Chain A
Amino acid sequence: MIKRRKNILPGFTLSLGFSLTFISIIVFLPLAALALKSTELSFQQFIQTISHARSLSAIKLTFFTAIMAAAINMVIGMLVAWVFVRYEFPFKQWIDALIDLPFALPTAVAGLVYANLYMRNGWIGQILALAGIDISYSSTAIILVLVFTGFPFVVRAVQPVLEEIEPELEEAAAILGASRLQTFCLVLWPMLRPAVVTGFALALARGLGEYGSVIFVSSNLPGQTEVAPTLIVARIEENKYAEATALALVLLTASFFLLGAINFWERWSRRHE
């Protein structure tokens, strides 16, 4: 009955037809082309392409930098979320709004500014140089821009959960004699963990595919500071589409696996609340 009631409204055929046509042309066709191209590769060819020294080091660097950046974001994201939910200080609302900037700022601009700021001659680069640190064109620079592009994910995942936690829980813990640290580790952290993991996975998925900002701050040297997306572009420019597709498959698999894991994890933790 409910089903029939729902379909009383007009426009079902029209919106279904339009939406399906649109998403087929825009999203499905390019992905199908990728899938088709990948069937041209035999499994052995695929392994060969992936285990080529240049590909292998690009894939390793991609995962290393993305995981490092997501891990850093996990820590600083939690800290920032905590401070913005629990404490009051001047201009809090405005600074809070700024946290979303990495979502809105074009990655090319982020790359340009970071290349200019944190490199040897930049404002911050000079200060770092005094401490003997030089991150110019290194993998550390890649991690830095990935921290920037993924920064809002953990903060925005943790903030609403932290706001919803009832004060009674912490009060009860305090009355029962728990220290603040104990309360955080034993009461708050288990409640925050799903959000933190979700934010981590989203930042990681984003970091694996990041291209725009990375090419500015990295020297993009094959085998050293070249990430997988950069190598994909290089292969496309050489018209080596099969090799580009093999690399793309690795990235696609990783990010789909991550998104699937997040979905599963969210459902699981909701069921086990």
Chain B
Amino acid sequence: MNNGHGIRMAASLAREDPAWLKFSLITMALMIVGFLIGVPVIHVFWQALSGGIKAYLSNIFEDPANRDAIFTTLYVAPRAVFLNLLFGISSAWLVSRFKFPGRTILLTLIDMPFAISPVVVGLGLVLLYGSSGLLGPSLASVGIQVLFNSPALVLATTFVTLPFIVRELIPVMESIGPDEELAALSLGASGLQIFFRITLPSLTLGLLYGTILCTARAVGEFGAIYVVSGRIAGLGQTIPLRVEQLFQQYQTPADFALASILTVIALATLLARKIMQSLSNQRHATDQAKRIPA
């Protein structure tokens, strides 16, 4: 009896580390996160707001090049996100509801943007749409200029952000399964009815989060756009490119002011993630509660 109690004590203490170890590990982890992430974030806002709110706002909006960069980002990012939304829904439906030859190839292609350097993406677009490229000359002859123009920015951004929405949707759709859709079909629902009444409502959280993530990445894309934009002020310069230009010109306050916009977007993305996680945990909990027979 006594012995058994002792063993249980040893067992419950087995996962308990000594206080000194615990304390020093926590300190080290907090220092790592602090120096790597915390201090840089504080530094952005510290630098951006060091001249007061008035200087901050004029730093952002007074320079026409900054305003152009903001407009370009507002032009490019929503288009890329919208395209990826269409693609995300379509291919998530395809991959999670049907078996067909080439499914694995499609999934590999979807993951590819994760593995490719953005600079290489830019190079591919230059080789395709440039004046000596594969499609560039024939598109130019019908008056379409893709490279160094807004279409190239949208194409580059769409490429780089392609996996985010699909990858969010596929696991959700797979875990829900086709049962409800099949039931609706057997009751005579049309394809559109099934999609809007059953599939779409069950995807709201995944869609919302995928869109937020995709938007954050679309707004912040740098390497691919750097290559295809041509970098002439006002033409194809997004906010991150403008941040780099201001850095080259040693305009530190204006630079940090613009960078703070991007940092707020990034922090908002993290907050959204946190809220979604607790929402889906709650939903999961209520589902579980429902299943328990009264």
Contact = CB atoms under 8 A, between A and B. Distances in A.
* A, B co-complexed: yes
A8 B183 CA distance: 11
A212 B223 contact: yes
Chain A binding surface, main DSSP class: helix
A9 B243 contact: no
Interface residues of B, number: 107
A53 to B, nearest CB: 21
Contacts of B155: 26
Given A23-B87, A108-B220, A113-B40, A83 B29 contact: yes
A86 B128 contact: no
Interface string B22-34: 1001101110110
Contacts of A22: 83, 86-87, 90-91
Contacts of A101: 37, 41, 266-267, 270
A79 B36 CA distance: 14
Interface residues of A, number: 93
A108 B243 contact: yes
Interface string A200-234: 00000100111110011000000000000100110
A113 B98 contact: no
Contact of A87 (B26, B247, B273): B26
Interface stretch (A131-139, A170-178, A189-197, A265-273): A170-178
A140 B179 CA distance: 55
Contact of B118 (A3, A98, A180, A209): A209
Interface in A113-127: 113-117, 123-124
B46 to A, nearest CB: 9
Interface in B156-183: 158-159, 162, 178, 181-182
Nearest to A167: B15
A7 interface: yes
Contacts of A248: 117, 119-120, 123
A36 B134 contact: yes
A6 B43 contact: no
29 contacts: A7-B98, A10-B190, A12-B98, A30-B159, A33-B125, A33-B127, A33-B134, A36-B134, A104-B217, A104-B266, A105-B220, A105-B263, A108-B240, A109-B44, A113-B43, A180-B18, A211-B119, A212-B223, A216-B247, A233-B119, A233-B122, A236-B126, A236-B227, A245-B127, A248-B120, A255-B116, A256-B115, A259-B111, A259-B115
Interface of A: 3, 5-12, 14-16, 18-20, 22-23, 26-31, 33-34, 36-37, 76, 79-80, 82-84, 86-87, 89, 93, 95, 97-102, 104-117, 123-124, 147-148, 151, 167, 170-171, 173-175, 180, 183, 205, 208-212, 215-216, 229, 232-233, 236, 241, 244-245, 248, 251-252, 255-256, 258-259
